[in-house]
Amino acid sequence: SFFSDTSPALVFGGSRGMGAAIVRRLAADGRPVAFTYVSSPAMAAALAAEIEQEGGSAFAIAADSADPEAVRLAIEATVERFGSLGVLVVNAGILIGGTIDRFTIADFDRMAAVNVRGVFAAIHYAAPHLLDGGRIVTIGSNTAERVGSAGSSVYAMTKAAVAQLVRGAALDFAPRQITVNNIQPGPIETDMTADLMEYIVPKLPLGRIGKADEIADLTAWLTGVGAGYMTGESLTIDGGWTA
């Protein structure tokens, strides 16, 4: 079968923050949605139950994106449950801060494993299952465009890697009409930014932090049938921060 606006979706990192908003939005739009988590089983179960209660179809899968085998198994479980896969959203990501002189090798490896290799693994293992005409969306960061503050170099590097991986992936999957795009949020109100609010808000031209739903809206559009001519793009959505 070919991709449609009700083809199943899998969201890596869907239990909290932007990922949860994306899961809710895709489910509300009529897609069966599977999503992964690593440390929040209760939140993941509650989100799946909430969607089921509202008449949608959702289930949560424990899978650390740093573990490629877990990523592969999450994709297999989704295809087994839903019968196909039309949309892959790779949102799982971590932020470890620190200037390079103090940044440890272990933290470098952990962030690269989740933010870079985890994205590659998700696309790699999903590829054979994705419907022709399907959608891949990654969540990068506006720090790929402008690092903006000290202590963010390694995080920004991982997100810049994602942006370029997406450009190449768009070319790799173009023959199958699968589009691949990267959303680059600026500061969004989630657990990740809870401690940074005071520092961030005065720096934002729009004078406020972004909402997870605003990222979910863009994801919904990018993953819809109507977005079929956009591929390989990184879309920055950051309240004007990088303007």
Q: Which of 181, 193, 219, 236 binds ligand NDP (CB under 6 A)?
A: 193
Examine residue 40 and tell whether it contacts ligand NDP (CB under 6 A): yes
Shortest separation between residue 155's beta carbon and ligand NDP, angstroms: 7
Beta carbon nearer to ligand NDP, 3 or 158: 158
**How many binding residues for ligand NDP (CB under 6 A)?**
31
86 sits near ligand NDP (criterion: CB under 6 A): no
Rounded CA-CA distance 64/225 in Å is: 30
3-state DSSP assignment of residue 207: coil
3-class state of residue 83 by DSSP: coil
Question: How far is the C-alpha of 41 from the C-alpha of 61, rounded, in Å?
Answer: 9
Q: Of 18, 127, 166, 180, which lies in the binding site for ligand NDP, with binding defined by CB under 6 A?
A: 18
Question: What is the smallest separation between the CB atom of 238 and ligand NDP, expressed in angstroms?
Answer: 8
If binding is defined by CB under 6 A, does position 91 make contact with ligand NDP?
yes
Residue 21 C-beta: closest distance to ligand NDP, Å: 8
User: Is the distance from CB of 44 to CB of 238 less than 8 angstroms?
Assistant: no
- C-beta separation of 157 from 109 below 8 A: no
Active site residues: 155
Angle between the N-to-C axes of helices 212-222 and 17-28, in degrees from 0 to 180, rounded to the nearest 10: 50
To the nearest whole angstrom, how small is the minimum distance from the Cβ of residue 1 to ligand NDP?
Answer: 29
Tally of CB atoms within 10 A around 175:
8
Hey, what amino acid is at 7? S
- Residue given tokens 């489910």 in the structure block: 27
Q: Considering only residues 167 through 186, tell me which ones interact with ligand NDP, judged by CB under 6 A.
A: 185
CA 111 – CA 165 distance, rounded (Å): 16
> Any contact of residue 190 with ligand NDP (CB under 6 A)?
yes
- 241 near ligand NDP, rule: CB under 6 A: no
Locate 96 and state its tokens.
């470890």
Q: Which residues of 13-25 are buried (b: 16+ CB within 10 A; e: fewer)?
A: bbbbbbbbbbbbb
**Footprint of ligand NDP on 50-79 (CB under 6 A):** 64-66
Per rule CB under 6 A, is residue 152 in the interface with ligand NDP? no
State which of positions 198-237 bind ligand NDP (CB under 6 A).
none
- 126 forms part of the interface with ligand NDP (CB under 6 A): no
- Is the CB of 85 or the CB of 89 nearer to ligand NDP? 89
**CA 49 to chain CA mean position, Å:** 21
Contact positions vs ligand NDP (CB under 6 A): 13-19, 36-40, 43, 64-66, 91-95, 114, 139, 141, 185, 187-188, 190-193
